Structure 1
Amino acid sequence: MPLGPNPSECEIQAALLGVTDPSCPPMRLQRPPALPPGTASPEAAQPTPASRPVPGPVALPPLPGPVAVPVPELRAAFRVEFDFNSAHIRPESRAILDKVAAVMTAPAAGTTRFRVVGHTDRVGGDAVNLTLSRRRAAAVVDYLATHHHIGRERLEASGMGARELLLPDQPAAAANRRVEIINLGG
């Protein structure tokens, strides 16, 4: 889930841990997709209670045993600025990484492990972008470990290059150049 340019610690906590501190305001991180102008909402297409047929009895088959419910993956994408063709984190991006570190070191995070994934735009060749994305992810891991004393055993770095563009129809867009952090569990 891409977060805005300056997410709060509460938003980061919700995206990476699935919970927020009790002091956080209630929030809703995902909005339903906007409908094109002139399109009725799905609820408007439903029949009114007076026009709905009354259902008869329904026979349900016996339920099978317990079913494993997949746990939603907790992840967030952040716009982390780097110098051109470099893994040097720009000073203006340290504030966002400081908020991420505050969430990672909060008691709610416990011993949770995280994967830091670097992404690039499509400018440049595949091999160069893959190497650059890996170097940038490693730089973020290094920053979190060095400046915030997050154990390196809780962090791993990987790079995707330009394989998973956020905006595939705009391959050179700055939004494609991001760092994604994925909760790997405890």
Structure 2
Amino acid sequence: MTDFTLRRITEADEAAVRLPNQPFKLFGHFIVTRDEAGWQHHEVLDAEVREQTFPEENYQLADIDAKGFAIGAFAGDDCVALATFENRWTKYTYLADLKVNIPQRRLGLAHQLMDFAKPFAQAAGTQGFCTVAQGSNLAANRFYLNYGFHIGGFNTNNYFHTRARGETDIYYYLDF
């Protein structure tokens, strides 16, 4: 097993914020409802597994640092996982992006990145994390719930005028 070093990304390793997006599996949907007991969810597995790759963000470290911070996981000099965060007026630090290269997935790096980021968010005066996952990204939804996030909202309209019409967004929150 490879040893990884986690660190806040600085000018010395700025190229790490441009870690390319890699495909991820879409194998089910996360269905969210709300009733008098609160948010409920269940999973529906798809008959076929598909892949999706998000467009490249072309991040600039100065832009990230102006709003928050970036954390990277490194194998030697190579960045293999990235998390970018934005501090918000709501007292939540928004997890804007979380990605792990395919060979390093399922090794706990996403969890480690979140743990490592917590003191940086607290130092900025925030009280927790928030993020958004698409309903079709079952793996992401599972990760957030397993990490300790709770569902705080659901949006069926963000993609109405796009090719992804019918997609949903699930809003997650984690209090420190």
Pick the structure with more strand per residue. 2
TM exceeding 0.5: no
TM-score, normalization by structure 1: 0.29
Q: Higher RCO, 1 or 2 (CA under 8 Å, sep at least 6)?
A: 1
Q: Which has the higher helix share?
A: 1
Q: Bigger radius of gyration, 1 or 2?
A: 1
| TM-score, normalised relative to structure 2 | 0.31
